[in-house]
Structure 1
Amino acid sequence: MPYEWLPPSAEGERLHLWPYRSLPRRGFVLFIGATAALLTVPLVPVLGTPVLWVLLPFLVLAVAALWWALERSYRDGEIVEDLTLTRAEMRLTRHGPRGRRQDWQANTHWVRLTLYPQGGPVPQYLTLTGGGREVELGAFLSEEERIALHDDLARRLCALR
């Protein structure tokens, strides 16, 4: 699961959520290396000819564009959500891509956890309502992960109340 409950501390229980990465950094390096190696195969027959200098910039540009697109995907996926639970307060902090930060807090007693099976922007839409606002939790999680998170968080909320 791309979330974990951190050990309880003096400030309460903390839930840490992050998006799943199907291509880790090591795989990224291997993929770019393999792509570059495979793109050099068509260059072997034209070594030592002027055609090499015509093809080479396009192949280098293709690898650079692939590198840039994957790096952009990594930067856009740098999302982390931290949920802190105490008896008195629930606080959600979302660290989004490019340093964007959003905060939400409400009294734990009045917070309502809702899982919308249908009718939300995505199936199994998970929200927290309280403090006059409704915020989405785990937008980057899969349907099954949102269901599991809902059940887990509901148990912990019941235990706190």
Structure 2
Amino acid sequence: MTYRWTTPDRLELRPHRSLPRRGFAGVIGLFFVLILVPLTAMLGTMVLWGLLPFAMIALGALWWGLERSYRDGDILEVLAIEDPEVTLTRTNPDRSVQEWRCNGHWVRVTKHDTGGPVPHYVTLNGNGREVEIGAFLSEDERKALYGELASRMRELR
């Protein structure tokens, strides 16, 4: 699961990383080796110097694309349930922080099976606002999250 209760009153949500950093290094290394295989036949010729810049540009583009994917997915949502207040804090990839607070008695957890940006979209309602939580989770994770949040908010009341 890409979300977990770190304490009974604190939930942390992060996007899933299908390629860990170790795998990132492996992909870059493998790509480098596979690019060098055809270039070894060109050793000692002028053709090598014509192909080498393109090979290195391709390697750099792969590295940049994977690194950008990691940066764009660097999101953290923290739901803190402290009697009487519930706080949802989202740290975006650009390090900006968004925060939503509401009295826990008035918080409503809603699951939108259709009509949201993703199926089984989960929102928190209260204090005159509706905020999304865990939109980056998989469909099954959002369903499980909804059940856990709904039961936790019932306990709070």
Question: Could you state the TM-score of these two structures normalised by the residue count of structure 2?
Answer: 0.98
Amino acid at match of 2:132: E
Counterpart in 2 of 1:145? 141
Counting aligned pairs with the same residue, the percent is: 57
**Match of 1:114, SS?**
strand
CA contact (8 A) 1:105 1:131 kept: yes
Q: How big is each residue's C-alpha offset from its partner over 1:50-106, in whole Å with a ceiling of 9 and x where there is no partner?
A: 100000000000000110011011000000000001231110000010211100011
The answer to whether structure 1 residue 87 and structure 2 residue 83 are counterparts is: yes
CA contact (8 A) 1:117 1:125 kept: yes
Deviation at 1:157, TM superposition (A): 1.2
- Cα distance in 2 for partners of 1:30, 1:121 equals 34
- Output aligned runs, 1:1-161, within 5 Å: 1-8=1-8, 13-161=9-157
**Match of 1:85, SS?**
strand
Over 2 Å off, 4+ runs: none
- Cα distance in 2 for partners of 1:62, 1:82 equals 38
- Cα distance in 1 for partners of 2:116, 2:4 equals 25
CA contact (8 A) 1:86 1:160 kept: no
Q: How big is each residue's C-alpha offset from its partner over 1:92-121, in whole Å with a ceiling of 9 and x where there is no partner?
A: 000010211100011111111000001111
**Match of 2:94, SS?**
helix
Deviation at 1:15, TM superposition (A): 0.3
Deviates more, 1:18-27 or 1:120-129: 120-129
Task: Give unpaired runs (5+ residues) of structure 2.
Answer: none
CA contact (8 A) 2:108 2:153 kept: no
Amino acid at match of 2:144: A
- Cα distance in 1 for partners of 2:7, 2:94 equals 28
- Cα distance in 2 for partners of 1:7, 1:114 equals 23
- Cα distance in 2 for partners of 1:54, 1:78 equals 38
